[in-house]
Amino acid sequence: MTALQIVFLIAAAFTLLSALLVVTRPNLVHASLWLIASLAGVAVLFVLLEAGFLAAVQVVIYIGAIAILIIFAVMLTRRVMSDSGPQVNRNWWGAALSALLIFGGLLGLFSQVPAVGSAFPAAIANADGLLEDLGRSLVDVNRYVLPFEVASVLLLAAMIGAIVIARPAAREEGEE
């Protein structure tokens, strides 16, 4: 067992455990914190996969923005949902069943992937120019500029949409 493998195993275990705790903790604040932990674990795994930029993006966006947003939401809706009382609904057994089925299904699918047994990833050709390559690919007309622009439009739409939806109800007439 190489060192990388051990690191992987630790990181994987940490991530899975955190994820389990996310979905089982009744206390939402705890759950959100465990979410952060899980996200961090995923970032470590990204590093193991030599996608350093993505690891950084993971931390910044997910942990730094989305997790914070979730914590805000928990705070704003905390008054109603007290931490006592059941946090799972009546169909949790159906959910568990589905989850297991999906897990099994996915495993079955993955087993059919031809490269699934490869232990050694091939060396990356231009490891140092990876980031530059990623940056260029996102704005290259022949490559991924369109998805890039669409994603930005999506973000814009989401932003506007979120503002509109979350606005409080119109206070008085004539207010624009």
Partner 1 sequence: MIPLSWFLILAAALFSIGLYGVLARRNAVAILMGIELMLNAVNLNLVAFWRYVAPGSIAGQAFAVMVFAVAASEAAVGLALILSIYRQRSTVAAEEINLLKW
Partner 2 sequence: MTPELLTWLIPLPPILAFAVIVLLTHRSNRLSHTLAVGAMFVSWGLAMTVFWAAITTPELGQRPFASSIDWLPSGVEALRIGILIDPLSAITLFFVAWTCLAIFVYSIGYHNYGKPRDPADRAGLPPHKGGIEPMYARFFAFISLFAFGMLTLVISDNLLLLFIGWEIMGLCSYLLIGFWYGKDSAKKAMVKAFITTRVGDVFMLLGIAYLYSATGTLNYREILFNEEVLHSLAEAPSGVLGMSAAGLIGLLLFLGTVGKSAQWPLHVWLPDAMEGPTPVSAMIHAATMVSAGVYFAVRFFPLLTAGWAEGEPLTVTMRVVAFIGAFTALFAATIALAQRDIKRVLAYSTISQLGYMVAAVGIGAYVAAAFHLVTHAFFKALLFLGSGSVIHGMEHGLAASSTNAAQAMPGQEGPAGVHKAHAHVDAQDMFNMGGLRRKMPRTFVTFVIGGFALAGFPLLTAGFWSKDEILADAFGNGHLAVFLTLAAAALLTAFYTMRQITLTFLGEPRTEAARHAHESTATMTVPLLVLAVFSVAAGWVGIPESWTGGRVPNWFHSFVGGTLLEHPPAAPFHWAPLLTSVGVSLGGLLLGWLVYRRVAAGAPDPARKPLGFVYTVLERKYGFDEFYDWAFVRPAYWFAETFSYLWIDRGVIDGILHAVARTALRLGSIFRNYFDKPVVNGLMGDGTASVVKWAGRQLRAVQTGRVQQYLIAGLIVTGILLSYVLVVRP
Contact call for residues 43 and 16 (beta carbons, < 8 A):
no
Q: Is 137 in the site for partner 1 (CB under 8 A)?
A: yes
Q: Is 174 in the site for partner 1 (CB under 8 A)?
A: no
Q: Is 139 in the site for partner 1 (CB under 8 A)?
A: no
The site partner of 2 among partner 2, partner 1, none (C-beta below 5 to 8 Å per kind) is partner 1
**What is the spatial distance between Cα 35 and Cα 19, in angstroms, rounded to a whole number?**
7
Lookup: tokens for 103: 């897990």
**What is the spatial distance between Cα 72 and Cα 59, in angstroms, rounded to a whole number?**
18
Residues 6+ away with beta carbon under 8 Å from 103: none
Q: Is 62 in the site for partner 1 (CB under 8 A)?
A: yes
Phi, psi of 83 (to 5 degrees): -75, -15
The site partner of 166 among partner 1, partner 2, none (C-beta below 5 to 8 Å per kind) is partner 1
Candidate ranges 7-15, 31-39, 88-96, 133-141; the one touching partner 2 (CB under 8 A): 88-96
Residues that bind partner 2 (CB under 8 A): 89, 91, 94-95, 97-98, 101-102, 105, 108-109
